[in-house]
A = this chain, B = another copy of it.
């Protein structure tokens, strides 16, 4: 396989996988493109490579910047903005985890807490509260594990995790 072909396949595949994670295709493709690009790219560069509109590039690049996985870079003698993706993949994972935790976990905890206020002492009510408590408990566990992963160092995390599990 040729390099360009491989890079292209990576960009395309990333885009299609992303849709099954609730992440927009173009956002994933733009990130993939920047990740495998040797030099910073301008909006034009992205438009031409991915064959998408200016507006689309702008929106998705902003989203990537908001997620903290892409940043602006200035190129001497150029007026326009250029963009780069952070090449540290562990950092990337931590940022994505942080964002998904915010989108997927935190709202759940909020709702569950609110629902606990239900005032009903029938058997049915008790059973419902049990479900809520169990949901909170599991969600909190996951939340704590993610919090720790966000703080951890990759190799340290994996080796310790494996060690503890194998005990």
Cβ A115 vs Cβ B10 within 8 A: yes
Across the two chains, which residue of chain B brings its CB closest to A118? B6
Across the two chains, which residue of chain B brings its CB closest to A23? B22
Cα–Cα, bound, A3→B127 (Å): 11
Question: What B residues does A107 contact at CB under 8 A?
Answer: 17, 20
Query: In this assembly, does A138 line the interface, its C-beta being within 8 Å of a C-beta of chain B?
Result: yes
State the oligomeric state as a number of copies.
Answer: 2
Query: In this assembly, does A72 line the interface, its C-beta being within 8 Å of a C-beta of chain B?
Result: no
Cβ B89 vs Cβ A135 within 8 A: yes
Report the minimal beta-carbon distance from A71 to chain B, rounded to whole angstroms.
Answer: 17
- Among A46-54, A59-67, A159-167, the one that faces the other chain is A159-167
Question: What B residues does A154 contact at CB under 8 A?
Answer: 137-138, 141
**Contact check: which of B3, B90, B108, B111 meets A125 at CB < 8 Å?**
B3
Cβ B20 vs Cβ A89 within 8 A: no
Across the two chains, which residue of chain B brings its CB closest to A165? B148
Within 8 A of B (CB), among A79-125: 87, 89-90, 92-93, 103-104, 107-108, 111, 115, 117-120, 122, 124-125
Give 15 pairs: A residue, B residue, CB < 8 Å, sorted on A.
Answer: A1-B115, A1-B117, A3-B118, A6-B115, A9-B115, A10-B111, A13-B111, A17-B111, A21-B104, A35-B131, A92-B138, A93-B138, A141-B157, A145-B161, A152-B165
